[in-house]
């Protein structure tokens, strides 16, 4: 089976960046645990990758808007005798209505999927990674984390949280062989914009140079976490955009946060 002996758990694995992470890691010889709501798609992808790359692919159908989902997922991997060595926190969503008009259940779902579940899955898997002396965590942030806040949307603030927490975790866990990277893509061809109902508007208003394919995002993101880079902004255009929007360079901010932290034990 796996040529690496390691297993990656990927949320939002049924399409887009999540599915591409599954393909990339399976091709490298990693076993997979694929998590999403759409069972049919997960099973089809798992079958395809298991046959093509001779790796083990398990499927866990879960809705991360459910607060019990992260623990249920890890209980399932434990019952299968699987150690999670690689965590790809990819699942995401975003509202497309104003804050005042959105039902609070919809806002709470965004927070649950992209903040609470991301944090809890890391918290549940990190102890094992530390004990084994190896771990890789990729948390999907966004280029939006470097931008000024967008009116009415929680998305920018949520992705800023993911960016900051990923760096904080990397500082803490690096001595134990665990690397954490915030992957911050810009506009990416995936189903995300279909779900938001913004694909036509986005593609018509934005030049093609601003768009990336999931393959390029995943390739650069995985290379970054393997190299121990706590922040990855894939693509030259995105790097320039982030640098122009953020007055303090990312590496300097990381250094200051690591060395001047008044809450260190």
Annotated catalytic residues are 155, 159
One-character DSSP codes across 95-153: --S-TTTS-HHHHHHHHIIIIIHHHHHHHHHHHHHHHHT-EEEEEE--GGGGSPPPTT-
Q: Who contacts 37 (Cβ-Cβ below 8 Å, separation ≥6)?
A: 14, 61, 62, 63
Cα gap 128→116, rounded to integer Å: 20
Helix (H, G, I), strand (E, B) or coil at 230: coil
Cα gap 21→27, rounded to integer Å: 10
**What's the sign of the alpha-carbon dihedral 47, 49, 52, 57?**
negative
Cα gap 186→167, rounded to integer Å: 19
Cα gap 251→226, rounded to integer Å: 17
Helix (H, G, I), strand (E, B) or coil at 236: helix
Tokens of 246: 């953020």
No. of H helices and E strands in the chain?
11, 9
Q: Who contacts 27 (Cβ-Cβ below 8 Å, separation ≥6)?
A: 53
């Amino acid at each position: 089976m796996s040529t690496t002996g390691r297993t990656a758990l990927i949320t939002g694995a049924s399409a887009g960046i999540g599915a591409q992470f599954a393909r990339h890691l399976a091709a490298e010889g990693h076993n997979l645990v694929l998590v999403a709501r759409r069972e049919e798609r997960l099973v089809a992808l798992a079958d395809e990758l298991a046959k093509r790359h001779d790796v083990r692919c398990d499927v866990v159908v879960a809705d991360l808007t459910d607060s019990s989902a992260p623990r249920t997922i890890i209980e399932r991997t434990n019952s299968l005798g699987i150690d999670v060595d690689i965590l790809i926190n990819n699942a995401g969503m975003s509202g497309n209505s104003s804050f005042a008009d959105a039902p609070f259940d919809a806002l709470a779902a965004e927070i649950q999927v992209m903040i609470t579940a991301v944090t809890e899955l890391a918290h549940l898997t990190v102890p094992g990674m530390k004990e084994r002396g190896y771990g890789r965590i990729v948390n999907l942030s966004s280029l939006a984390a470097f931008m000024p806040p967008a009116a009415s949307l929680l998305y920018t603030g949520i992705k800023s949280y993911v960016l900051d927490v990923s760096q904080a975790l990397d500082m803490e866990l690096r001595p134990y062989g665990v690397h954490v990277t915030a992957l911050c893509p810009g506009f990416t061809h995936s189903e995300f914009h279909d779900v938001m109902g913004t694909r036509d508007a986005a593609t018509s208003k934005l030049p093609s140079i601003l768009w990336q394919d999931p393959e390029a995002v995943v390739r650069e993101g995985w290379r970054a976490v393997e190299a121990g880079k706590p922040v990855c902004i894939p693509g030259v255009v995105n790097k320039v955009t982030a640098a122009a929007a953020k007055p303090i360079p990312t590496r300097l901010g990381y250094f200051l946060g690591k060395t001047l932290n008044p809450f260190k034990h």
